[in-house]
Each structure stands twice: as structure tokens, then as C-alpha cells.
Amino acid sequence: MTAPAIRLSGLKKNFGASEIIRGVDLDIHPGERHAIIGPNGAGKSTLFHLISARLPVSAGSIELKGESVVGLKPFEINRKGLSRSFQITNIFHNLSVFENLRCAVLWSLGYRYSFWHRLAGLADARLRADAVMEDIGLTRRRDTAAGILSYAEQRALEIGITIASGADVILLDEPTAGMSNTETEEAVALIRRVTEGKTLVMVEHDMGVVFGLADRISVLVYGKIIATDAPAAIRCNAAVQEAYLGTSLSHD
């Protein structure tokens, strides 16, 4: 049996006296598409920040592919094959779309801190960046500065940067937030395409996206996971329905 892609055990996070994550245990299988849902303030983004080491853990353990990653720096976790996107677009604003993607692939191709390679001569980096650019549909915006792209284009670039390095565990934080219906549909198709064969964990508010994309769903309420199951089972779960009282869990 292979190790889970991510294993959280007894994970806790408190800011001063207030506990935000209150003991989370969760196994995410290799290759599954896992959604984390829950009401506002449940701690979904905080959970992502803990897994990706943006925030230090208060207690408990995080294993990535069977290896403890607690205490590592974000770049060290990234090098172990975990990549994440952000709820608030987090790109290199003054660099072009192409440069954004090329920056995202340099480390994984082994160029590290090189000042003896000429960027223009790195065919593998260029091809990889161009391929991702094609994937996310931004080829015609190749030389545009990322900062002046439209919102939907920036979101697509955000996903592109996240997957460009070829990491096999992908964390997406609200990838379709603030998008129109058509844009959301396109984004879902994009996510499905680029995370093929990878482990995907995502936080998402749009239930249509969640139930359409996820193999399994975890429901996080006040820092605890109250249920993890297949979408159909989650929809019928009494505890989940109670937590979501007054909100709709159906497609719309």
C-alpha cells in the first residue's frame, strides 16, 4: 500500500488564545481530487497555509508522501512536489505571462540560482513554459505584463504557475472565486485537464464546482472535519446538512 499523498494527524493551529484548527485528521489518497468545503471562517485557508508551510503548525503532524514536512520552509515543501495557488491572486505583476511561467519551472528543471546559464538558451524551460501557456489559454498574451491581465486571465495564470513545475500534489485555494458562470466552466475544464493524474486538494465555495470535480469531499466546520466521503454521501449526511443550515448544497 502506498503512502497517502497527504496525511494530517491531530493538526492544530491557534492564534493566541483562539484555536482555528482544532485537531484535523485526514488522509488524501494519491491521484484523488479532494475538495474541502465549509462555512466562512471554518479554517479552510488556514489549513492550506499549514500544509504549504505558509503558517507554522501549533501541534500535530503533516506527512507529504509518507514524509514529515512539519517545520520545513515553503520552498522546501515545494521542492518535494507540493505546489499551491492562492485565494488572492499571487503572481509576478511586472513580469510577462511567459516570464511568470518560466520562473515557475526554473527550479524543477535544475537551474537553481544559476548565473552562468543564459535564459534564452534554456530550450527546456522555454518549451515547458510555452506548453503551460498553451494549456491555460494565454498564448496570445505571452508578452503582456501579468499585472494588466483581466481577472479571469490572472486566475488562469495563477493555476498555470502552480502546475508549471510538474508538482504531483496540487493545492488550489478557491480557484473560481469571483468568476462568472462561463469563466467558472472554463476554469473547471482547465483544472480537470491540468491536474490529470495528480493529487488535487481544493478549497471551493461553488458547490457546482465541488460536486462536479471532487472524488471525495471533506467538510470543515469550526476547525474540525465533521465528515469525509464521496459527494453523494456528503449530500445526504445529516451533520453536514445541519452545519450548512440555511444554505443549499445542491447544484445551481
Partner 1 sequence: MTSHVTEAVFRRGRLLLWGGCLAAAIALPLVFKSGFMLSLLCQMGIMVVFALSYNMLLGQTGLLSFGHAVYYGLGAFAAMHTLNLIGKDGGPLVVALLPLAGGLAGLLAGVVLGYVTTKKAGTTFAMISLGIGELVAACALMFPGFFGGEGGISGNRVVGKGDLLGFTWGPQVEMYGLIVAWVFVAAVAMFALTQTPLGRMANAVRDNPERAEFVGYDTQRVRYLMLILSGLFAGIAGGLTALNYEIVTAETLNAHTSGVVLLMTFVGGIGFFYGPIIGAILVTVMQIVIGGMTQAWLLYFGLFFLFMVLMAPGGIASVIAMQRNLWQAGLFGRMVPHYLAAAMPLLVLLTGLVGLIEMSYALLAGEGAGAGDTATLVMGMQLQLNTASPWLVALAVTASGMALTRWIGGRTGAAWNATLSTLHGDKS
- Select 91 or 191, whichever has its Cβ closest to partner 1: 91
State in angstroms the smallest separation of the CB of 69 from partner 1. Answer: 14
Site residues for partner 1, window 103-142 (CB under 8 A)?
103-104, 106-108, 111-120, 122, 142
Angle at 161 between CA 160 and CA 165, to 5 degrees: 100
- Select 158 or 206, whichever has its Cβ closest to partner 1: 158
- What is the size of the binding site for partner 1 (CB under 8 A)? 39
Tell whether the torsion through CA atoms of 112, 167, 196 and 38 is positive or negative: negative
Using the structure block, give the residue that is written with the C-alpha cell 464521496: 230
The per-residue b/e assignment along 100-109, b for 16 or more CB within 10 angstroms, e otherwise, is bbbbbbbebe
Q: Of 22-30, 59-67, 72-80, 243-251, which part binds partner 1 (CB under 8 A)?
A: 72-80
Q: Does 17 bind partner 1 (CB under 8 A)?
A: no
Q: Does 20 bind partner 1 (CB under 8 A)?
A: no
Task: Tell me the β-bridge partners of 203.
Answer: 36, 173
Identity at 124, one-letter amino acid code: D
User: Crossing angle of helices 97-106/151-164, nearest 10°?
Assistant: 20
Q: Of 3-11, 85-93, 187-195, 204-212, which part binds partner 1 (CB under 8 A)?
A: 85-93
Site residues for partner 1, window 162-181 (CB under 8 A)?
164-165
x/- binding map, residues 44-63, to partner 1, per CB under 8 A?
--------x-x---------
How far apart CA 235 and CA 40 sit, in angstroms, is 19
Q: How far is Cα of residue 36 from the mean position of the Cα atoms in its chain?
A: 11
Residues in touch with partner 1 (CB under 8 A): 52, 54, 73-75, 78-79, 83-84, 86, 90-95, 99, 102-104, 106-108, 111-120, 122, 142-143, 161, 164-165
